[in-house]
Amino acid sequence: MPGDRHFTRDGATIAYQYSGRGRPLGYAHGVFLSRDAVRRMGLFDFDALSAGRSLFTYDQRGHGPAAARADPRLTAAHRGIRRTSGRGPR
């Protein structure tokens, strides 16, 4: 996989990688993980996933080398977005 690239959005820097050629495939890691943790634990073979495809992977805010959200006012609740499904408090 190539080295990380970065972009900044809403005051937070996001680390990502884009590799391969062909039909695009995106991968987002699970809660409490990062791309590096997934790789080290062998949960996914990113080389196999990118065979014949363009693979886009990124670290969610606050995971791996990605910076956490800089401004708490940018959360969904502050933007007036309500949770409409799932479990837990609303």
Residue 30: per-residue pLDDT: 77
Rounded CA-CA distance 7/76 in Å is 21
pTM here is 0.62
Residue-wise pLDDT tens digits, 1-39: 568 888 887 777 888 888 888 999 988 887 788 888 888
Residue from 61, 68, 73, 74 nearest 31 by CA: 61
User: In the 8-state DSSP scheme, what is residue 73?
Assistant: G
Characterise 86 by phi-psi region: left (phi > 0), alpha (psi -120 to 50), beta (else): left
Dump pLDDT digits (tens) for 31-81: 788 888 888 888 888 888 888 999 988 888 777 777 666 455 555 555 555
| Residue ranges of domains in the chain | 9-67
